[in-house]
Amino acid sequence: MIMDNNEKAFESYTGTEVFQILLDGNSSRSVLDDWLERNIQSDLKVRRAKMPGHVVIETGDVLFARNVLIWNPSCKVNIKKI
């Protein structure tokens, strides 16, 4: 099985990280809609990215972050230790 960099990052998860997910505007809208509709009990922080037309979604929920990666395989994920 070949793992890309995003999958390798999830393998080193220890529980004290924040996932920063870079998405384009349309993808971020669908992620936020899903988060609201399913009433997911995790915090999200949404901010504009330096890249025009993109948004960064930050969450500490590894399961939600993993689902976003599955739904948007081309997104970039940065894991920040806190």
Residue 64 burial (CB count, 10 A): 22
pLDDT in tens, 13-39: 677 889 999 999 889 999 999 999 988
d(CA 63, CA 68): 9
- Domain of residue 59: give its range: 5-81
Which residue has tokens 């599955």?
A: 70
Tell me what percent of the residues of the chain surpass a pLDDT of 90: 37
Calculate mean pLDDT across residues 42-65: 92
Q: How many domains does the chain have?
A: 1
For the entire predicted model, the pTM comes to 0.80
Angle between helices 62-71 and 25-37 (to 10 degrees): 130
CATH number for the domain that contains residue 55: 3.30.70.120
